[in-house]
Chain A
Amino acid sequence: MDPLRGGGRRRDAGEAADGVSGRPTGWRRFLRLWRPNTEADIDAELRFHFEQKIADLVARGAAPDVARAQAVAEFGNVAAVRSSLREIDGRIAKHRQHAEWWESIAQDLGYVLRSLRRSPGFTVMVAVTLALGLGANAALFSILDRMFLQAPPGVADPGQLRRVFHGYHDSRGVQQILSNFSPPEFRAIAAALPAGTQVAGFGTQAKVHLGRDDSAPQGVVIYVLGDYFGTLGVRLAAGRPFDASEWRAEAFAPVAVISYDLAHDRFLTAQNAVGKTFEIGSHQYTVIGIAPKPFRGTDLDAGDVWVPMNTRGTWANRDMQWYERHGTLFIRALLRAHDIRTFPAIRVTTTVALRKAAEIRDTLAFATFGSIKEAVAPGFNVSEQAIATRLGAVALAILLIACANVANLLLARALQRRREIGVRLALGVSRSRLVRQLLTESLVLATISGLAALLVAAWTATALRQALLPNVQWGAPAIGLHAVTFAAATAVLAGFAAGLVLALHASRPDVTGVLRGGARDGGLPRSRVRTTLLVSQLALSCVLLTGAGLFVRSLQRVETVDIGYDAAQIVFAGLRTDPELGRSRDAELDVLLKEAAQRIERFPGVEHVAFTENVPMSAFSFVSNFLPERDSVPTLDGSGPIVSFVSPGFFATMGMRVLVGRDFSPNDRTGSEPVLLVNSIMARTLWPGESAIGKCLILHKREDPCRRIIGVVSNSHYGRLIERPSMQFYVPLAQEGDDGKLGTVGALEIRAAIGRVTDVGTQVRRLLVGLGGTGSTPWIRTLAEQLSPELRTWRLGAALFSAAGLLALLVAAVGVYSTLAYTVSQRTHEMGVRVALGARETHILRLVVGEGVRVVAVGVAAGAVIALALGRLVASMLYDTSPHDPAVLVASAVVLLGVAVVACLVPAWRATRADPMTALRAE
């Protein structure tokens, strides 16, 4: 027992001199390198002091007792000193530990960097693989973040806000959600809301020319009903929001709030823009306010201009007709409740109001509330939402593949270095230090890859944004703080994941075995881990390839969908006019367009011309309709027939066929017998098993005259590329009115000869510019242009999934190659012996390739099973394509196997080059 030792107990210092301890000082000193023992050191130092002092005093003639007493007296309070020394030394030890720790990290880093520089090929391979995986993820994250995680920028207290949706049950009892309301419905909802809530409506129109004519840049115009800015809590950057005299439905105030960016583009500064005027078509607006920079409306399509709804150009403004229309749904409703607990009660009130207002559709309608984030709200363009989320999963799969590949590469490298590792272990490097080094290595690689990934992501995110959601206001650069954080986190995780597999695997080789065996068979069995990694990588690649195949197949089918029109030949045209400039839409425009139709008919390359009230595939209408002697008209999926008001020659122009009966003629006009044509779905639904010809249908009011059906036409789509079959019927434009008022021409349809669409479009534009004169703006677009945004979604899906599939294929090929190349290099000896014993080149090739293909086949088989199981997740995004399409499965398996065989050939060929002499001499 050390006498001076112990928690502050005072002992006679003299004992120290007697008890010279037999503690082995040698190993203590050695140990201190690892674990400083401050306590013992203090003891030893003080003991030395007392021994020395007492010895000196005794040597000078003092009695031992006296010497001891003097030594203690001259020292002071031993216990107090000891405890303060302990405190100081504790601090010193801690500093030293920190320093040592940093030093060892620096050492590890230096070691790792040196060894990476020695094998640049490996480093680049890992960095590229991981960068692709991480980059794809960061890019997608930046998109998903904006779509699903963040509230629309610029909106105050988004938690209090809801979008109101219109729910109903279709004839099969399936719940359907509509995102728009008709004006009467919106009015009813707004009137029913209790105090403490705010409501506003809006409608969005994209691709509006923000200027006098078609050459002006296009933008998104948001038509506002009610206190839109107040409800959203948006504080304008300059100017003022609409006031009640402007936002009320009846008001006609040509005032506008414009986006911050638009203000800067047009008027240089926000302040400067207030009070200025600008035009939308032929309408002139005065700018009264500038939205704050981030605010571009609540939807993903970024708004440029907000104007009161009643100023919307194509409507009959002052007469408020639009405000009474039941059939057209275009108002989206925003609701703010200052107490969110009241939402359930408000929902009930709203539902009651909605049922009263919804005259035409069913009485089981209900109101439902959803997020103001467009992408998570019901009724959002489902295919884009689905693509975005599925792509997230795909990106994750790519990352997993990349990680598996990197782990495999790291492992191969570690195995190559296992002699080095063995030597280091033998030299006394601790396993934990070794594991740390391996982890450091993979983290360094992850960091390098992470930086490269940001480059990949910055580039792909911009491209993806453009491709996936081109009109979205992103509010942040492609790679913002969120995405960088995400990339960093995934990089570190990926680094750890890859490194951990490796560290667990490589840190326990049998040291003596490794040292004894030389470079050949170092005592490690052929790795099961590596095979598993390779197999899972191949399986995932197979899944992604299959996905890509399915999307490509689906796109092929969509591109050949028959919408019932000759889409490639049709041009739409019309004029936008401004009643403020003294042009009456009803009278003059009608005459103008009819005259234009006659002239266009004689243009070269024009086959037919027709005119209608609405632009086909762009707008559609319902009209109340009744069957004589029946209580109700049957519906399809809960929706009634769609009506179009058309001129004679419309069907020929659009490429539709009159199947039975006759087409409209110029003689079907006011005063003559009212007639209709129905499409064959309507004929079949209303009069199954009978001929529709001669039957009749009453429009508007039950007491109105019944209109005779004179023909049945082929079916066509009314709004979208992919849609359910719909009942449609056609009314001669010249007979539309039931109250003596005639329908007006809103659009011309022109059928151009094949390949003449552009040419005809140019001629028509020239004509309309001349005809329209001042106060009107011509517009021209082809049906193909109108359809392209919809096709874009499908093309996009196919393109993105194909890119992902190719990426996976590439990474898998690298994986197969590197694994096999390593195996072959390890078996140089065996190959040499085989060659020496007379094995032919083909034998060796078959041996190596066969081994590779066996692993690949297992991976592909597993992938096929997973692909079959996951198929239903993408089923909703495919058109007319089974997620279990055998051709696609087989094709992707064959492609993967083919690539794998090629990847095997290089190492196999190298194996045949094994020189028996070299191999045997290495023994």
Chain B
Amino acid sequence: MTQHELDLIQGTLNVLVLRALSWQPMHGYAVADFIRHGSRGTFNILDGALYTALHRMEELRWVEAEWGTSVKGKRAKFYSLTTAGRRALRAETSAWTRYVEAVAGVMQAKPQTA
């Protein structure tokens, strides 16, 4: 893989996690579940990468972590978006949209003859 593809994947994972958390505070397992179900199993993201991303975002202060109790009454670490996280989500979403449109544009374009 080239560096470019790595960046793409990293960025994609971030935007997916932020999007997941934009609905409500979640623990890591719920985020993984959200992405897996949302993509209908298309993405094969390792759970470990997800946790790494979550902790990095905590360091960036995009998300805040707090210990709480899961639905089943177990102690779990819940992540929620901060203001900075919401701002990041907006920026990443628009970048992602532009990217998708650009790819789509290229895919639909036909060669132009001079």
Flag whether A448 is at the interface (Cβ < 8 A).
no
Q: Are B46 and A76 neighbours in the complex by a CB distance under 8 Å?
A: yes
Within 8 A of B (CB), among A24-49: 25, 29, 41, 44-46, 48-49
Query: Is A85 interfacial (CB-CB < 8 Å)?
Result: yes
Determine whether the beta carbon of B51 is less than 8 Å from that of A81: yes
Q: Is the CB of B70 within 8 A of A52?
A: yes
Complex CA–CA separation, A137 to B56 (angstroms): 54
Q: Which of A86-94, A234-242, A284-292, A416-424 contacts B (4 or more CB under 8 A)?
A: A86-94
With A75-B47, A88-B59, A92-B58 already in contact, the answer to whether A48 and B52 are too (CB < 8 A) is no
Distance between A72 CB and nearest chain B CB, rounded to angstroms: 10
Q: Give the complex CA separation of A92 and B32 in angstroms.
A: 23
> Contact between B55 and A89 (Cβ–Cβ < 8 Å)?
yes
Residues of B contacting A45 in the complex (Cβ-Cβ under 8 angstroms): 27-28, 51, 76-77
Residue of A44, A45, A88 ringed by the most chain B CB atoms within 10 A = A45
Cβ contacts under 8 Å, A837 to chain B: none
Q: Which of B29, B52, B72 sits near A88, CB closer than 8 Å?
A: B52
- Select one of B55, B70, B72, B75 contacting A85, CB under 8 A: B55
Is B6 an interface position by the 8 A CB rule? no
How far is A44 from B65 in the complex, measured between Cα atoms in Å?
13
Residues on A with C-beta less than 8 A from B72 are 52
Within 8 A of B (CB), among A821-836: none
- Given A45-B77, A48-B76: A75 touches B48 (CB 8 Å cut-off): yes
**Contact pattern, A 82-110, Cβ under 8 Å of B = 1, otherwise 0:** 00110011011001000000000000000
Return chain A residues, CB-CB under 8 Å to B59. Answer: 88, 91-92, 95
Docked Cα-Cα span, A183 to B64, in Å, equals 87
What are the residues of chain A within 8 A of B27 when measuring CB–CB? 45, 48-49
In contact, A48 and B75 (Cβ under 8 angstroms)? yes
Interface contact A48-B74, CB-CB below 8 Å: yes
> How far is it, in angstroms, between the C-alpha of A45 and the C-alpha of B79 when the chains are bound?
11
Please measure, in the bound complex, the distance between the C-alpha atom of A74 and the C-alpha atom of B45, giving whole angstroms. Answer: 8
Q: Mark A66-78, 1 if CB is under 8 A from B, else 0.
A: 0000000011111
* A78-B52 in contact (CB<8A): no
Q: Do B56 and A74 touch across chains, with their CB atoms under 8 A apart? A: no
The answer to whether B29 and A52 have CB atoms under 8 Å apart is yes
Residue pair B29, A80 in contact (C-beta under 8 Å): no
Known contacts A45-B28, A52-B29; is A76 also within 8 Å of B49 by CB?
yes
Nearest Cβ distance between residue B85 and chain A, in whole angstroms? 15
- Report Cα–Cα, A88/B57, bound state, in Å: 10
**Chain B residues closer than 8 Å to A92, beta-carbon distance:** 55, 58-59
B67 at the interface (CB under 8 A from A): yes
* Cα-based distance from A39 to B66 in the complex (angstroms): 16
A765 at the interface (CB under 8 A from B): no
Give CA–CA (A51, B72) in the complex, Å.
11
Distance (Å) between the CB of B57 and the closest chain A CB? Answer: 10
CA distance A75 to B48 in the complex (A): 5
A51 lies within 8 A of B48 (CB): no
Interface string of A1-41 (1 = CB under 8 A from B): 00000000000000000000000010001000000000001
Name the A residues within 8 Å of B49 (CB-CB): 76, 81
**CB proximity of B88 to chain A, nearest CB, Å:** 17
Q: A53-B47, A85-B52, A88-B56 are in contact. List 18 more A-B contacts (CB 8 A).
A: A44-B75, A45-B51, A46-B51, A48-B70, A48-B75, A48-B76, A49-B32, A49-B47, A49-B51, A51-B74, A52-B70, A74-B47, A75-B46, A76-B48, A77-B48, A78-B48, A88-B52, A95-B59
Closest 5 CB pairs of A and B: A76-B48, A81-B48, A76-B46, A75-B47, A88-B55
Binding site for B on A (CB under 8 A): 25, 29, 41, 44-46, 48-49, 51-53, 74-78, 80-81, 84-85, 88-89, 91-92, 95
21 inter-chain pairs at a CB distance below 8 angstroms, sorted by A residue, are A25-B75, A45-B27, A48-B74, A48-B77, A49-B29, A49-B51, A52-B74, A52-B76, A75-B46, A75-B47, A75-B48, A76-B46, A78-B48, A81-B49, A81-B52, A84-B52, A88-B55, A88-B59, A89-B55, A92-B59, A95-B59
